[in-house]
């Protein structure tokens, strides 16, 4: 019985570059040409739904469709994996905040697969209700340093 050879994990600089570029997509709705493979697969799981896309332009079109004004995306942390990385992110739009985990597979220094879990967009009323009913015991101590 032979054991399959796994590709080498991406190096630290590649993970940093790709995580930063992916995060920037949520702000600019564009992508650097060397961020995604041509046929990158996106599996998106917003609350109560799931859909899949192929190619970065389809993904960027989806981001443009749901944006409601100026958007900022903050990297909370990046965790390298044996085949890519996990990006934890917080996105703020004028009227909502969302948190996401993005599990990314990397091959040949480009993202080839993205699985996105999103908690949905929390408007001001939901954030106020949450603060009153379920105050956080810990703040984001693990926020990435810029």
Q: pTM (2 decimals)?
A: 0.86
Tokens of 75: 């990297």
Instruction: Choose between 31 and 1: higher pLDDT.
Output: 31
* Within a domain: 110: yes
Tokens of 109: 């220094």
Query: Is the pLDDT assigned to residue 144 strictly greater than 90?
Result: no
* Within a domain: 142: no
d(CA 90, CA 92): 7
Q: Which residues in the chain belong to E strands, given as ranges?
A: 36-45, 51-54, 72-80, 84-93, 96-107, 110-118
User: Is 41 strand, coil or helix?
Assistant: strand
Query: Is the pLDDT assigned to residue 145 strictly greater than 70?
Result: no
The total domain count for the chain is 1
Residue 140's pLDDT band, with cuts at 50, 70 and 90, is: low
| Per-residue confidence (pLDDT) for residue 98, from 0 to 100 | 92
Longest CA–CA separation in the chain, Å: 59
| Per-residue confidence (pLDDT) for residue 146, from 0 to 100 | 39
d(CA 141, CA 85): 20
Domain range holding 95? 12-133
* Within a domain: 6: no
Render pLDDT for 17-76 as a digit per residue (tens, 0 to 9).
Answer: 999 999 999 999 999 999 999 999 999 999 989 999 999 999 999 999 988 889 999 999
Query: Is the pLDDT assigned to residue 95 strictly greater than 80?
Result: yes
CATH number of domain containing 103: 3.10.450.50
DSSP category for residue 88:
E
Percent above pLDDT 70 for the chain: 95
Contact 43, 115 (CB under 8 A): yes
| Per-residue confidence (pLDDT) for residue 142, from 0 to 100 | 58
């Amino acid at each position: 019985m032979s054991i399959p050879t796994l590709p080498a994990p991406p190096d630290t600089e590649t993970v940093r570059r790709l995580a930063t570029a992916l995060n920037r997509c949520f702000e600019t709705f564009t992508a650097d040409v060397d961020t995604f493979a041509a046929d990158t697969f996106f599996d998106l799981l917003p609350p109560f739904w799931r859909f899949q896309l192929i190619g970065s332009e389809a993904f960027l079109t989806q981001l443009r469709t749901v944006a409601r004004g100026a958007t900022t995306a903050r990297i909370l942390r990046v965790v390298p994996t044996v085949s890519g990385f996990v990006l934890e992110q917080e996105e703020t739009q004028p009227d909502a905040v969302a948190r996401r985990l993005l599990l990314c597979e990397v091959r040949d220094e480009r993202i080839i697969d993205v699985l996105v879990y999103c908690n949905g967009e929390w408007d001001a009323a939901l954030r106020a209700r949450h603060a009153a009913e379920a105050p956080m015991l810990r703040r984001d101590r693990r926020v990435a340093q810029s």
